[in-house]
């Protein structure tokens, strides 16, 4: 992702349209999903469907407290809005958990980042991120969501959080909800080719 997204505070109003302006390859219809990403999203969608029948997903690569934090944090990054569902509704936490099992080199990074987040909240407010109030959580996120504005001592959190935000966006925009949100048609038959939609071209250009 570009610096425009990396510099956007999670606690502020970062719309999906703003995020997409930096994801030109997706907007232009050239996004390629890796086999691992496809496999992870298939598992995630199955887990979301199972949850609707009362079968709760059991994470395999996140500890219980980490799992609660992940589920809360992804919805701060991509909340439900008037146009589409939230990251949890799209199965992003499940996608992440499966991806960590497929890309095990990512586990230590995200486990350390989640530990950093809880430690920062404990130092400030005496409790885990999930037990903080909404304003408290947003304050911590604002302090790590703007790389060019963050204090030096916050850089470990900044580095991890931006990686986590990219991870969240990857999961969301490979889900059924995310694909529908950007209007991606895939291999849909067309009577005639009229070129890339102007709106998509503008988004792709802004994302360069």
Q: Are 44 and 91 in contact (CB under 8 A)?
A: yes
Length of the chain: 208
Q: What is residue 207's DSSP assignment?
A: T
Residue numbers of the chain with a pLDDT score lower than 50: 1-32, 207-208
pTM > 0.75: yes or no: no
Helices and strands (H, E) in the chain, number of each type: 11, 0
Note the pLDDT of residue 65.
94
Residue 121 lies in a domain: yes
Residue 202 lies in a domain: no
Nearest to 93 by CA among 44, 147, 166: 44
Residue 20 lies in a domain: yes
Note the pLDDT of residue 18.
47
81: number of Cβ within 10 Å = 13
Residue 194 lies in a domain: no
Note the pLDDT of residue 25.
38
Note the pLDDT of residue 21.
40
Residue 138 lies in a domain: yes
> CA–CA separation, 8 vs 145, rounded Å?
6
Residue 195 lies in a domain: no
Residue 44 lies in a domain: yes
Note the pLDDT of residue 124.
97
Q: What tokens does 87 get?
A: 């990251």
Instruction: State the residue for tokens 């530990």.
Output: 115
The boundaries of the domain holding residue 65 are 3-184
Note the pLDDT of residue 70.
97
Count of domains in the chain? 1
Note the pLDDT of residue 47.
73
Residue 98 lies in a domain: yes
């Amino acid at each position: 992702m570009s610096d425009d997204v990396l510099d956007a505070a999670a606690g502020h109003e970062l719309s999906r349209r703003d995020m997409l302006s930096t994801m030109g390859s997706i907007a232009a219809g050239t996004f390629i999903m890796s086999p691992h990403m496809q496999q992870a999203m298939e598992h995630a969608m199955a887990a979301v469907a199972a949850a609707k029948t009362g079968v709760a997903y059991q994470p395999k690569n996140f500890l219980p407290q980490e799992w609660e934090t992940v589920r809360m944090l992804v919805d701060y990054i991509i909340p439900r809005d008037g146009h589409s569902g939230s990251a949890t509704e799209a199965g992003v936490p499940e996608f992440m958990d499966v991806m960590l099992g497929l890309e095990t080199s990512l586990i230590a990074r995200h486990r350390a980042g989640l530990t950093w987040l809880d430690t920062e909240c404990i130092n400030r407010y005496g409790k885990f991120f999930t037990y903080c109030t909404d304003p408290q959580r947003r304050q911590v996120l604002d302090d790590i969501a703007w790389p060019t504005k963050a204090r030096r001592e916050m850089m470990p959190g900044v580095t991890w959080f931006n990686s986590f935000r990219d991870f969240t966006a990857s999961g969301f925009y490979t889900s059924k909800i995310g694909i529908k949100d950007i209007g991606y048609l895939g291999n849909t038959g067309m009577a005639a080719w009229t070129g890339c939609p102007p709106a998509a071209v503008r988004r792709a250009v802004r994302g360069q």
